[in-house]
Amino acid sequence: MIDTIAITLKDKEFRILNSEKFLPISTNTNFAKFALNRSAKSDHYQPKITFYKRGPRNELKVEFSAPKLLHGNNFDELDDSDFDLLVGKLSSLLREMGVEVYPYWIRKADVSKVDYSKNIILSDFWKSSMIINELQKIDMTKRLDIQHRDYRNSGHTVYYHCNSYELVFYDKIKDLQQSKISPKRALDKTGSIQLSLLDEIEKSKKPVEVLRFEIRLGKRIKIKSLFNKLEIKNDLTFQSIFNKSVSKSVLNYYWNEIYSNISLAQIKDSDNLSVVQKILETKKMKPIKALGIVMALRIIQEDGAEELKKLFKRHTSSNTFGSLKKDILSLNLPKNIKVQGLQQVNQQIDEFRSVKMAEYLV
């Protein structure tokens, strides 16, 4: 469903009740930016509020995690039926913080950014780190226009970045444990408000593993172009963006792009000689080329396709890896059992049932 979302309110759609709470961030003749000073002592989640003055126009940007605002955590996922309650809660909280916005205008507000997310509950002794380790091996920079890839927290996070969006997989429980040590070390910077849930998880008799999958669309133009590609008719207001079917379409699209690129890293580990024999039997290929394919497979399984691709780019033409990839996939070699863990992700995104952590804590 949706996690973090930013809405923009125009003049006459909001009223600031206490201007003293807003601190200047930057000001000049035609532009001024002020941030509301949130209470550090607050015992509940607070949205981030920024006021903009652009010449004669005033705007208010409100950014918040929908599940944290409603439930105090983002392990529990929302449904479409939660929308009215969420809007009412946000309206009341904004008034408490010094800004009046009626629910009508919150519903109709334009969305400038949105983070789609899914919590995957892993079973059969699968761990988030095992899935992340497999995802790290995938070559998907060209397909998804990824410019930068980063691994964090000792392999518990894989983070892909491009100009208009971010794609993240991380161990949700491990990240919360990091937040307990220091919020700066965690991916979720407001994770400290849900530490009571961590206590429940750690006391649970049944081990729980939560893999977090996020698509962060940071620009309105990116949201619009993606919706056009997926043939989603949407006016990009809060009430139309908050839609489970839309969320599923977005997450399913990106996951399918990832899953379709996982083949190279999932070739079954087996005796090198038998693989060479299979290649020579099924393809008219010189033995030296067959040996090269086997070596490439081993490097991909240990270090990842992306690392091999970088190596080729430094020492040969950019087409070398693509040609090698095509040869490997044409062999239809047996897949590793590790793909079963990835199929759990596949299945839960397909089912798209909202996670409620109480069901897993016994």
Question: According to the model, what pLDDT value does residue 344 have?
Answer: 87
> Of 67-71, 152-156, 222-226, 320-324, which gets the smallest average pLDDT?
152-156
Distance CA 175, CA 134 (A): 19
Q: What's the rounded mean pLDDT across residues 132-157?
A: 66
Angle between helix 319-330 and helix 305-315 axes, rounded to 10 deg:
140
Question: According to the model, what pLDDT value does residue 152 have?
Answer: 61
Q: What's the rounded mean pLDDT across residues 334-349?
A: 74
If pLDDT is split at 50, 70 and 90, which confidence band does 247 have?
Answer: very high
One-character DSSP codes across 282-331: HS---HHHHHHHHHHHHHHHHH-HHHHHHHHHHHS-THHHHHHHHHHHHT
Distance CA 62, CA 43 (A): 19
Place of tokens 């619009």: 224
Q: What's the rounded mean pLDDT across residues 91-109?
A: 96
Distance CA 215, CA 256 (A): 13
Are 170 and 156 spatial neighbours (Cβ–Cβ below 8 Å)?
A: yes
C-alpha distance from residue 325 to each of 37, 300, 344 (Å)? 53, 11, 26
Distance CA 289, CA 328 (A): 11
* Percent above pLDDT 70 for the chain: 83
Are 238 and 7 spatial neighbours (Cβ–Cβ below 8 Å)?
A: yes
Q: What is the pLDDT of residues 267-310, one digit of tens each?
A: 555 566 777 777 777 667 777 877 877 787 777 766 666 677 77
Are 116 and 2 spatial neighbours (Cβ–Cβ below 8 Å)?
A: yes
Single out the residue of 34, 74, 65 nearest to residue 47, CA to CA.
65
Question: According to the model, what pLDDT value does residue 154 have?
Answer: 62
Tokens of 238: 């809060």
Q: Which long-range contacts (CB under 8 A, 24 or more apart) does 21-26 make?
A: 21/97, 21/98, 22/51, 25/50
Q: What is the pLDDT of residues 116-131, one digit of tens each?
A: 999 999 987 788 888 8
Q: What's the rounded mean pLDDT across residues 174-181?
A: 86
> Of 76-90, 140-154, 163-177, which gets the smallest average pLDDT?
140-154
Rg (CA), the chain: 24
pLDDT at 330 over 90: no
Are 25 and 34 spatial neighbours (Cβ–Cβ below 8 Å)?
A: yes
Tokens of 308: 């091999």
pLDDT at 337 over 50: no
Q: What letter would DSSP give residue 154? A: T
pLDDT at 56 over 80: yes
Tally of residues, the chain:
362
Q: What's the rounded mean pLDDT across residues 189-214?
A: 85
> Of 6-10, 69-73, 90-94, 330-334, which gets the smallest average pLDDT?
330-334
Per DSSP, which regions of 85-190 are E strands? Answer: 99-100, 110-122, 148-152, 157-161, 165-171
Q: Specify the pTM.
A: 0.81
Question: According to the model, what pLDDT value does residue 270 have?
Answer: 56
If pLDDT is split at 50, 70 and 90, which confidence band does 343 have?
Answer: confident
pLDDT at 229 over 60: yes
pLDDT at 194 over 80: yes
Question: According to the model, what pLDDT value does residue 85 have?
Answer: 97
